Amino acid sequence: MWQRIFALTIKEFLALLRDPKARLVIIVPPIVQLILFSFAATYDVNHVSLAVFDRDGGHDAGELIADFVDSPHFTLVGQIHRQADIATLIDRQEALVVLSVGPRFAHDLRSPAGAQVQLIVDGRNSNTAAIVQGYASDIIGRYNQQWLRSHGDAIPSELVTRAWFNPNLESRWFIVPGIVGLLVVVVVLVVTALSVAREREQGTFDQLLVTPMRPTEILIGKAVPGLVIGLLEATAIIVISMVVFGIPLRGEIATLYVGLVLFLLSSVGVGLMISALSATLQQAVLGAFLFLVPAVILSGFATPIANMPPLVQDLTLINPLRYFMVVVRGVFLEGTPLHLLVHQFWPMAVIGVVTLMLAGWLFRHRMY
């Protein structure tokens, strides 16, 4: 019995290694996923974009600001000269943190009540915001120790933090909207990726091609079920997010669904392209998950894209989930209007059109 098992094992290894496609599946995906996990999936928060609003302009305020700028965790992106510029920088995500120093900072620092410094944090990513607050508290603590050593019993400064868009820094507000895109892309991609591959394996797809139906008609017929399933599932998740989890929907529902339809279009296109390239169901499943794992990592769902290396950030530009994450979180938490999300809409539309055209071409020109 053991000899037969050993012989069968050797035969399976030989059959697997002799197939070029099987070797590709064994070697390439683990290497790609290892690189992506190692470089992209990190919870370290470095080079946080910092803007400074210094209304004091004195030496004491300059020392505090220098402590922030010299920290390896913060990168100065600009000086603010008007109160209204704070909202603009954070809304556009040009600055994650704004350090606001009052006009009487030096005077208050020497008063019995002490001085207050305001740290305005973008709270859309609650995990990142909480880490940044910890960094800022450490810097203020060191500044206080230096002040006490220099000025004896004088009361040091106090940090007052305010988080925008997510005042209580509830991680649920950040995670649940992202799950809308995550679950929809998994279901839609698997449904569409298996459609053509299943018929190829059963031998019915060739019969479909010799019917009077055109490739465009076949493409639409294959795409519509995925779009309908995706819309229904996304609607259910959105309702649950609002009713059960209490996530506020601050934007227009129409804006959200414009982004959702474009995202579904791109997801269906990717799924059909994978299905057209696959000769068997097994290949389709492997192709779908080969796309899904990097897509989730490179979407900004759990880790900020800004923390990834520049080359990996460039790879995220071909990931439709990356754009939808910005749309769904922007509409839910910020109330972002339609015209400010156009630069997120058109890349998803381009990805959808290109992948659907490739899928339609592969329906007839796929070589076995």
Its CATH class, for the domain covering 48-164, is: alpha beta
Confidence of residue 367 (pLDDT cuts 50, 70, 90): very low
Q: Which pair of structure tokens corresponds to residue 120? A: 């305005």
pLDDT, tens only, 243-278: 887 888 988 999 999 999 999 999 989 988 888 888
pLDDT in tens, 328-338: 988 998 888 99
pLDDT in tens, 76-109: 998 998 888 888 888 888 888 999 998 888 888 8
Query: What CA–CA distance (Å, rounded) separates 141 from 147?
Result: 10
What pLDDT was estimated at residue 153? 59
Q: Which residue in this structure is represented by tokens 């299943």?
A: 198
Enter the tokens of residue 327.
């749309």
pLDDT at 204 over 80: no
Sheet of 116-122, strand order: 74-79, 48-54, 97-101, 116-122, 158-164
Asked if the model's pLDDT at residue 345 lies above 90, the reply is yes
Query: Hey, CA dihedral for 247, 248, 250, 251, is it positive or negative?
Result: positive
pLDDT at 322: 93
Where is 135: in which H helix or E strand? helix 126-151
Of residues 218 and 8, more confidence is placed in: 218
Helix (H, G, I), strand (E, B) or coil at 86: helix
For residue 38, name the pLDDT band (cuts at 50, 70, 90): very low
* Domain locations in the chain as residue ranges: 48-164, 171-365
Report the candidate in 99, 87, 92 with the shortest Cα–Cα distance to residue 53. 99
% residues pLDDT > 70 (the chain):
80
Mean pLDDT score of the chain = 80
- The pLDDT value given to residue 30: 54
pTM of the model: 0.66
Q: What is the mean pLDDT of residues 265-293?
A: 85
